[in-house]
Amino acid sequence: MLQVLTDPNGFFKKKINEEIEWKNPLIIMSLMVVVGAITTYTTIMSTLQSFMSMDFLEGAGQIIIVIFLIIGSIIGVAFSWLLYTAIFYIISIVFSGEGDFKRSMEFVAYGFIPNIVSSLIAAYYANRVFSNIDFSSITDPQAVQDMMFADPSMKIATILGLIFTLWSANIWIFGVKYARNLSLKNAVITVGIPIGLSVLYTVLTVFILR
């Protein structure tokens, strides 16, 4: 499965001749759920500790938070998986793409592998940013946001996130190419439009409009 990270073209070229299988995609998305819940938990806990007594964050309080985070992570990951697949599928229709939606879902799942690592890195830098902010002395949400974006760690996390996003895009290009029977050029356009807009928005938000 790791071949998809270094040679997505060869991986999907072989995979398209096999039956649709859900084992690996479900493992990938399950890891996304776990990592998403863990990273969100560490971020939320570090923030809550600045606002309320630690007594709430012990015992039942932590269990409640963990349950909600797991449920939220499952919903979020499932929605992202369906959304990315649907967007690529719909855009590929313009290029007369052919192929089952289930096959597209299977192949799109592999593109989330870099996001697993990216989420861990983002959580690390997020904790560094939050640890430098004294939330107890700040009442204006805009001030908190300004301090977060002013922290160099936020920019480093954003740059690394963009690199991993482009890595995912490279996997999706070849996944969509074979899942929807497209030329490489049309696959690049299919994936490039939504991912390009996402990257542009991130760059504008973090680096230009600040």
pLDDT in tens, 34-59: 888 888 777 776 666 555 545 555 65
Do 112 and 32 meet the contact criterion of CB atoms below 8 Å apart? yes
- Residue 139: the pLDDT is 60
When mean pLDDT is compared across 16-20, 62-66, 106-110, 144-148, the lowest value belongs to: 144-148
Token pair listed for 24: 């690996």
More confident residue, 51 or 130: 130
pLDDT tens, 91-129? 999 999 999 999 999 999 999 999 998 888 887 777 777
Do 147 and 133 meet the contact criterion of CB atoms below 8 Å apart? yes
Do 38 and 123 meet the contact criterion of CB atoms below 8 Å apart? yes
Residue by residue, what is the 3-state secondary structure of 37-75?
HHHHHHHHHHHHCCCCCCCCCCCHHHHHHHHHHHHHHHH
pLDDT band (50, 70, 90) for residue 78: very high
Sign of CA dihedral 100, 103, 105, 111: negative
More confident residue, 37 or 22: 22
132: DSSP letter: T
pTM, two decimal places: 0.86
Do 95 and 10 meet the contact criterion of CB atoms below 8 Å apart? no
The angle formed by the CA atoms of residues 54, 57 and 58, to the nearest 5 degrees, is 95
pLDDT tens, 148-203? 666 677 788 888 889 999 999 999 999 999 999 999 999 999 999 999 999 999 88
Q: Which of 190, 191, 198, 124 is nearest to 154 (CA)?
A: 124
Q: Quick check: helix, strand or coil at residue 125?
A: helix
- Residue 60: the pLDDT is 62
